[in-house]
Structure 1
Amino acid sequence: MARQASSRNISRTFVLTDEAAPEKILGFFSLTSCEVNIADVPLAYQKKYPPQHGLPAVRLARLAVAQKEQGKGYGEYLLTEAMVRTAVVAESVGIMGLYVDAKDENARRFYERYGFVVINPVKPMQLFLPIGTLQKLIGESFE
């Protein structure tokens, strides 16, 4: 699926492999661009953006760590890499942030630890990381 989406320029998937056994996939993430309706922006941020048209953002479409490799920090590494790549995009193209749909409560709490906020209490699994917060986190991780 990742190869098909990439060949159609729908998304890009990045794979983390074991250096000792490159054929062994430890985890991966996929990024895609998206257009966000102002209603899908947390209320605290809505006043910053024009309400009349879609807003550009990046969506973390998938992030997964192999079951046998969970608990080793690979999820944090992959999320950090996704954030770095999003920050690079933001330098060239205006975007407002990074969106993700958490698959469950554990995933939601994982993303919240990195500054993601719930968009709407009615949809608690949809989260948003404002570009300013993302850039600050990335800057801190390289200091």
Structure 2
Amino acid sequence: MTAPFRLQALAPHHDRKGFVCGVEALDRYFAERVTQDMRRRLTACYVAVEATTLRVVGYYTLAAAGIPLGDLPESLVKRLPRYPSIPVARLGRLAVAQDDQGRGLGSAMLWDALTRAARSEVAVFALVVDAKDEQAEAFYRHQGFAPFGLVPRQLFLPLKEAQQ
């Protein structure tokens, strides 16, 4: 695990420009676009900061979404109402600073996202992710996520399973 850190909502005082995870698209999004998406209420962003230095060591985004009922495995569908879609929380991005990778911070941020989704006053059935690559897909599968639908690397984890 990294040095002690705190998870909190992204705020203006957080240094976004100094964050480097090694994936250019994730670095650029965090430095240049995340606050625009937040102002438009398209996403919420949470950061992990070192307790002593306040350096941003990771971030993730959460947004509300819906997925077609027919995209889920039949074993789940038969236990759900026949609505055209079900509400989910979408984990849009999750990134850990290069110097802090491999220490469990990604798992801690994922757990925080699952907890926030489960505690939300807006009901959601599952957390959904679109894994960027094979490494990200392996990370999420290790955490209990399963594929669904026809989109490659699209994964979900029912919140009830995550809470157990």
* TM-score of the aligned structures, taking structure 1 as reference length: 0.84
- 1:130 Cα offset (Å): 0.9
> CA separation in 2, counterparts of 1:123 and 1:4?
27
Q: Does 1:107 align with 2:136?
A: yes
Q: Does the 8 A contact of 2:43 with 2:63 survive in 1?
A: yes
Between structures 1 and 2, the one with greater helix share: 1
What are structure 2's unaligned runs of at least 5 residues? 1-32
Q: Which residue number corresponds to residue 140 of structure 1? A: none
Q: Which residue number corresponds to residue 132 of structure 1? A: 160
Q: Which residue number corresponds to residue 26 of structure 1? A: 57
> CA separation in 1, counterparts of 2:49 and 2:82?
42
- 1:52 Cα offset (Å): 4.1
- 1:115 Cα offset (Å): 1.4
> CA separation in 2, counterparts of 1:105 and 1:43?
25
Q: Does 1:123 align with 2:151?
A: yes
Number of aligned residue pairs: give it: 132
> CA separation in 2, counterparts of 1:43 and 1:104?
26
Q: Does the 8 A contact of 1:87 with 1:134 survive in 2?
A: no
- 1:3 Cα offset (Å): 1.2
Write out per-residue CA displacement over residues 2-58 of structure 1, whole angstroms, 9 at most, x where no aligned residue: 211111111100011122221x21110000000111133233212223344221110
Change (3 A) 1:43 1:123: farther
Match runs of 1:42-53 below 5 Å: 42-53=73-84
- 1:98 Cα offset (Å): 0.6
Match runs of 1:7-26 below 5 Å: 7-22=39-54, 24-26=55-57
Identity %: 35
Aligned AA for 2:154? Q
> CA separation in 1, counterparts of 2:119 and 2:72?
22
Aligned AA for 1:73? G
- 1:87 Cα offset (Å): 1.0
What are structure 1's unaligned runs of at least 5 residues? 137-143
Q: Which residue number corresponds to residue 99 of structure 2? A: 68
* TM-score of the aligned structures, taking structure 2 as reference length: 0.74
CA RMSD, Structure 1 to Structure 2 (Å): 1.6
Q: Does 1:94 align with 2:123?
A: yes
- 1:86 Cα offset (Å): 0.9
